[in-house]
Chain A
Amino acid sequence: MITALGRSTLIFIHELGEISLFGAGAVRGFFCQRHRFAKLLIATHEIGVRCFPIVTIVGLFTGLVMGLQLYYTLVKFGGEAALGTAVSLSLIRELGPVLTALMVVGQAGSAMASELGIQRNDEQIDALQTMSIDPKGYLVGPRLLAALLCFPMLTAVFDLIGIWGGYVTGCVLLHVDSGVYWNRVFQSVTWVDVQGGFIKSLVFGLVTIAICTYRGFNTHRKASYPGVRGVSESATRAVVWSSVTVLATDYLITSFLL
């Protein structure tokens, strides 16, 4: 059992190293590319614009549910006035970055892993190499940098919509005083909370998109099956590992920030 644990740990560390080198190579390769701005714009559209609706919807319903749950918890102690504080801090510190990352992984990350997997199987990645185009810089680099731009912005959208959702449940439906709600939001949220949320979203963006692109790009090496099944396996593993990594790194970052 100890041998198996050791082997798994070594594999994990090796994989971590490979993903880090892969990401670093992709970013370095991106800066040697032509038409960088256009590529970044396309990748930003892929991650930012396409994920915007789902992030908005999930943010709204998260805020609505939190308003409801927290109101009925706080009202037992006569503390419903603290609803704004509870909703805003939970969203900005934790739920905003985590749920945004999970939504983007589900929407854009899986698509990237599948697309790169198909391109690998179809020899399009090899074709780029024969054309003297760095495949990582061309296909992965823009996505990683776009993730750094989009994740914080989508997290901000999620937080704002979520806080507004908490207001709708708490103030409009359950009649908490709206002045008290917004006053508590503005008083309790500090720049340190916002900064912490943004740090998390940056780390999640980099890590999740690196994992998703790595799995797709290396479908031929990493998947247990060739062909279509291999692509499907790559996409599934990309989503699963990205999601687990989001939660694990969330714990690590939180323990450093608090």
Chain B
Amino acid sequence: MDDVFLKITGLKKYFGEKRVLDGVHLDVPRASVTTIIGKSGIGKSVLLKCIANLLIPDAGLIELDGQAIAQSRRGAQGTEAVTFSYMFQNNALFDSLTAAENVALPLLEAAWLNQSEVNDRVQAMLAHLELSDSAQRYPGELSGGMKKRVALARALITNPQVVLFDEPTTGLDPERKFSVFEMIADYRERFGFTALLVSHDIPEVFEISDHVAWLDEGVIKFFGKPSELEIDAESALSGFLNKANYGREGTINKQETKV
């Protein structure tokens, strides 16, 4: 097993009687892209939100580099959040702030940097993501793909160790989906963060994934490299993958496109 950076042990989250996460164990290797797959409503986003401290787990332990970040008790909220960035499914950009202001927000409000340092870092990040021309535009004036890039810029501006992506390609056409995946892979290489991704885009997402985790019935039932995904006709994973068209479409073509 590679060097484990994020370790989840026995994570449980219930909503009333409903057991959404029922003892999740997951070891995410350092500086890798790990994709969580599974049926809709199975608890993939809940798992990400527990890691990001947006939800308090009922039991279990989350460790980052060997250090516990969320105990299985109430009141543990608000610790170590700076280590994580979260890219939301719908981007969660502030409508009343420009693209540049959205990207600068975590630095201005949480990083205690001076204005000129913030400006320099924001300009550099926008340039990296080819957003310099749209810096002064509001989210409402940006295309879906550009919003994704602004959200990604905001997620990366604090140099996080872990970036959590909650269905980053929702609502995008196939061409833009590839671009977003390429963007994630490219920036993971460039910035060296550990990425944990939730996606329904099978098999496209496997192109950038170092590991795949299959969440089913509240637990991780498969963890391994995409190439290790067994297409065993009898298994439940096979059923899920077949429904997701895995193994039918062949290798995807990477496209040299920009969002």
Contact = CB atoms under 8 A, between A and B. Distances in A.
A15 interface: no
Given A122-B92, A132-B81, A127 B108 contact: no
A131 B83 CA distance: 9
B223 interface: no
Interface in B75-95: 81-82, 84-86, 88-90, 92-94
Given A33-B109, A35-B108, A138-B109, A130 B86 contact: yes
What is the interface of chain A mostly: helix, strand, loop, or mixed?
A: loop
Interface of B: 49, 52-54, 81-82, 84-86, 88-90, 92-94, 105-106, 108-110, 112, 154, 158
Interface in A1-41: 33-35
A129 interface: yes
Contacts of A131: 81, 85, 105-106, 109-110, 154, 158
A133 interface: yes
A35 B92 CA distance: 22
A34 B112 contact: yes
Interface in A124-145: 124, 126-127, 129-133, 138
8 contacts: A34-B109, A35-B109, A124-B94, A126-B49, A131-B105, A131-B110, A132-B81, A133-B109
B112 A129 contact: no
Nearest to A115: B96
A130 B85 contact: yes
A119 B148 CA distance: 18
Contacts of B109: 33-35, 131, 133, 138
B99 to A, nearest CB: 15
Contacts of A122: 90, 92
B92 A132 contact: no
B105 A133 contact: yes
A122 B86 CA distance: 14
A177 interface: no
A129 B86 CA distance: 10
Nearest to A133: B109
Contacts of B81: 129-132
Q: Choose among A33, A122, A123, A127 the residue with the greatest number of B CB atoms under 10 Å from its CB.
A: A127
